[in-house]
Structure 1
């Protein structure tokens, strides 16, 4: 779950970057007594994510600012919907608005793209998951956004699970080590709660990897025909993950091969910011 500490760490750093000594423009143009009300408004359809980060930007700037959410993370919305209302000292509202908006636009973009992937595989049983191709420093928030869009999360970091990829296997081969035996040795060093996944890029690697006693096998950049063949070979002996050049146009066909999980870095690295706006509705107390 996304924690307040994770949110505040990211938002505090962003606020410090944007206004290290305060908002000079707001100080010279806006009276200290001015109270502003703004609305977070959708300018296109989408799925909301980042509302807590949105609120944190104002709270950390001035705790007297009030944020009234009109919807929740994970909800779909349409263009024109008011997603939240913010009221507080005008200087604080204007100072925090760009950080609040940047994060909400970014995270809602990830959630919206994820929902499109999830919708594309509906009825197949395949689950959509993210990868470690996240924005440095924003992984916890972007992973939350994937969940808001109906996806699931892969390992959070290199410390969470064992995942041997092509580079690991290449080193084994160069040293003349047997693949099945190497997996057995790796398994012997792990606790019983730690999962072990191995990536393969050829059909002939599947049986030696399965024989090593893995939990998950990743079929990387397989053709649709080879994915279907791989599902037959594995025959339920491990969870099957498909990965590599997964797009909205291809994900449905990949899911119909019978794989269990489809991972796509595009959910985070290729999501565009959603078009949301903060519109001033009232300014009083000048």
Structure 2
């Protein structure tokens, strides 16, 4: 499990999510279901993919009602097919109903992300490139989106603005150029006594050469370059710095990019262009329900 996934971070997310969804109360459930009514339900997978969020679902159920019993039938990261059952939950029917939508919202999106991540990862498995996510995430949902990327086999890039220096094109332009941006960054880190890795974006072979002449970075980003230009850039850089390809990379282009020799490939579409997986929570009434 990733270091940013911990009891404190999960509690903060779940509290905020329930505040948004329940507010003063789940009046539909309070009105229609007796408070002592017991029930059970199963998580029904309705399409093929990679399941993600089962451990989170268990945490959500227990956070709302510690007496709920949850049995996980699958594991996060497992390939699933339509008709599979992910978990069984039993306890107060009201608790199941009130937690249902939050569990599904999280799992559907996380599973969609994990599925897309695995698909892209499989395409570049024959190379040494590693697939990275980005900060192009849903506000207040980044924690789970990045978790889903890792479940799907991807590697998390920086989590936020505070844990790494990334000098993009606008930073460079506002700073007055690549050498100025790098020098100012080192001065800032020294003054603040911070130990952060530095990545810098380049948009041409000329800019790559300028970074090599200046030095003082950890990763060179090759942004919106065609695969042949990336290959030339990787040759120029050699083993001096790690390299990251970025810029509109998708299923059609990722193989050629990976074969250029880059160390990392960042794909924003992992989190901002994803179709959620079709999953539902179905009440059980004395018999096991299956997919239609």
The aligned residue for residue 179 of structure 2 is 180
Separation in structure 1 between the aligned mates of residue 273 and residue 118 of structure 2, nearest angstrom: 14
Separation in structure 1 between the aligned mates of residue 25 and residue 93 of structure 2, nearest angstrom: 13
Deviation at 1:6, TM superposition (A): 1.4
> Which residue, 101, 106, 121 being the options, matches 2:104?
101
Separation in structure 2 between the aligned mates of residue 47 and residue 9 of structure 1, nearest angstrom: 26
Deviation at 1:30, TM superposition (A): 1.4
SS at match of 1:241: strand
Q: Where in structure 2 are there 5+ consecutive unaligned residues?
A: 288-292
SS at match of 1:282: coil
Pairwise mapping of residues 1-286 of structure 1 onto structure 2 (< 5 A)? 1=2, 2-173=5-176, 179-180=178-179, 182-190=181-189, 193-211=195-213, 212-282=215-285
Contact 1:216–1:239 (8 Å) recurs in 2: yes
Separation in structure 1 between the aligned mates of residue 34 and residue 143 of structure 2, nearest angstrom: 37
After superposing on structure 2, the runs of 4+ consecutive aligned residues of structure 1 that deviate more than 4 Å are: none
SS at match of 2:101: helix
Task: State which drifts further: 57-66 or 263-272.
Answer: 57-66
Q: Deviations over 1:26-73 (max 9, x none)?
A: 122212232111111111111122123212332232221111111221
Contact 2:50–2:114 (8 Å) recurs in 1: yes
Q: Where in structure 1 are there 5+ consecutive unaligned residues?
A: none
Contact 2:171–2:181 (8 Å) recurs in 1: no
Contact 1:68–1:84 (8 Å) recurs in 2: yes
Deviation at 1:244, TM superposition (A): 0.3
TM-score (norm 1): 0.92
Deviation at 1:184, TM superposition (A): 4.0
Contact 1:38–1:279 (8 Å) recurs in 2: yes
Contact 2:202–2:223 (8 Å) recurs in 1: yes
Contact 1:45–1:78 (8 Å) recurs in 2: yes
Deviation at 1:196, TM superposition (A): 0.9
Task: State which drifts further: 34-43 or 21-30.
Answer: 21-30
Equivalent residue pairs, number: 280
SS at match of 2:128: coil
Task: State which drifts further: 185-194 or 226-235.
Answer: 185-194
Deviation at 1:160, TM superposition (A): 0.9
Contact 1:36–1:283 (8 Å) recurs in 2: no
